[in-house]
Amino acid sequence: MTADLVLRNVTLPTGRRADIVVADGIVRHVGAPARAGETIDCTGYTCLPGAVDMHVHMRGGAQREKEDWRTGTTSAVAGGVTVVVDQPNTVPPLTTPELLRARVREAREEAVCGFAVNGGVVPGADLEGMWDAGAMAFGETFAAPSSYGEGLDAETLRGMFDRIHALGGVATVHAEEVSGRAPATLADHDRARSGEGEARAVQKVAGLAPAGLRLHFCHLSTAASVRAARGTVEVTPHHLFLSREAFDPDETGARVNPPLRDEETRRELWSCWERIDVVASDHAPHTLHEKRMPFETAPSGIPGVETMVPLLMAAVRRGRITLASVIEKTSWRPAAILGIPRAGFEPGDRADYALYPDEITRIDAAHLHAKCDWSPFEGLDAVFPEEVIVGGTRAYVHGDLRETHGAWYPGKGYLPSQKK
């Protein structure tokens, strides 16, 4: 058998060591060696399936100064993420098939890893048209206001859920309660968007959803919210690894929605590790200029796509969580929720991989690839991949990005005949 690429001496999740033979971006054989155009010896590396980050804001368009598809997906690949799912609260928001198609065209021109695009859920949005045009899922749907997104009332949410359910789509939800004046500190922000309010919002949203709706809760930040959820549950690295006490009270770089919680709440969130379906970054970069505004007016959101898996891999190395759980929550479960082919170690699997060394390093924003050029995770333990394969092609090799083009993954409703 001849192949495009062979990964030699891969230690599989079962503990067996084998060669993975890749052709045309797909795993063709696992076991005996074969001839190939390129060979990678994986001895000394932990080989993970490429991560699927199902919650990113790639900016671009009118917000290119914050991030664009090229820089954002380069950052993803450098962190072992080989598929990203872009959220629709862009400028302008994605509410029509024409806008969704334009977003896909922009990504196709610049993205260096796989990508999908969600459709926006706001009054007047053409959900059915976007589903036909290839929207992967719907939302994040705002049950509370956030950056570039207005909260929807209960009746509107119920109607939107009914339409999404009729299509067979996934409804992804940003659930919070918001109260009080503009916050001046991280503690104010935590109180204004409290963990208790988040849990109540999760229960309320679950009660509005029709039976059988494929419901997915984004970035839940407390154990109570995770336990209250129906459907699938997502958490972020910043709610797992950061607490507001780790920052100065008015540190805008730590301002995010939902807010960072206190240390006790952060630790308790880890107790729900087995219930958590997905870890996603909610990569939402803003420029340093914006983040240096007074706390009351500074935007919420932080970059995180490049550091997501490296933070989790450091936790694996420390013995806090298992490697199998990281594979499940960053790659296999999100792929299953979205209905895209999974990356893995069996014939027919998508040939996306990241090779991680044993050494733990520290996060240094100067070495990251996001355009915004800062990180709230500065100084934390991480294990970054040394090689990343996208679609059977070596995309990232010891710090150097090779020229690759990411595939578009349309949703299940895509009608190619409707393409314009």
Contact 76, 84 (CB under 8 A): yes
Number of H helices, E strands in the chain: 13, 19
DSSP classification of residue 192: H
> How many residues belong to the chain?
420
C-alpha pair distances (Å), 338 with each of 45, 268, 313, 383: 29, 28, 24, 27
DSSP classification of residue 37: E
Cis peptide before 259 (omega within 30 of 0): no
Q: Consult the annotation and say whether 200 binds a ligand.
A: no
Q: Is 24 helix (H, G, I), strand (E, B) or coil?
A: coil
Q: Consult the annotation and say whether 132 binds a ligand.
A: no
Q: Consult the annotation and say whether 136 binds a ligand.
A: no
Q: Of 135, 17, 81, give the one whose Cα is nearest residue 412.
A: 135
CA 401, CA 204: separation in Å to the nearest integer? 45
What is the Cα 318 distance to its own chain's centre?
Answer: 23
Q: Consult the annotation and say whether 89 binds a ligand.
A: yes
Structure tokens given for 286: 């803003």
Q: Consult the annotation and say whether 58 binds a ligand.
A: yes
Q: Consult the annotation and say whether 405 binds a ligand.
A: no
At 315, give phi and psi (nearest 5°).
-65, -35
Q: Consult the annotation and say whether 59 binds a ligand.
A: yes
Active site residue 282: yes
Residues ≥6 apart with Cβ < 8 Å to 83 = 50, 51, 52, 53, 113, 114, 115, 116, 335, 340, 352, 406, 409
The b/e string for 210-235 (b: 16+ C-beta within 10 A; e otherwise) is eeebbbbbbbbbbbbbbebbebbbbb
| E-strand stretches of 68-113 | 81-86
CA 217, CA 237: separation in Å to the nearest integer? 15
Q: Of 327, 322, 348, 340, give the one whose Cα is nearest residue 409.
A: 340
For residue 41, the cross-strand partners are 8
Exactly one of 4, 282, 349, 352 is catalytic; name it: 282
Q: Consult the annotation and say whether 282 binds a ligand.
A: yes
282 half-sphere exposure, CB direction, 13 A CA radius: 29
Residue ranges of the binding site for substrate: 57-59, 89, 286
Residue ranges of the binding site for Zn(2+): 55, 57, 140, 174, 219, 282
Active site residues: 282
Residue ranges of the binding site: 55, 57-59, 89, 140, 174, 219, 282, 286
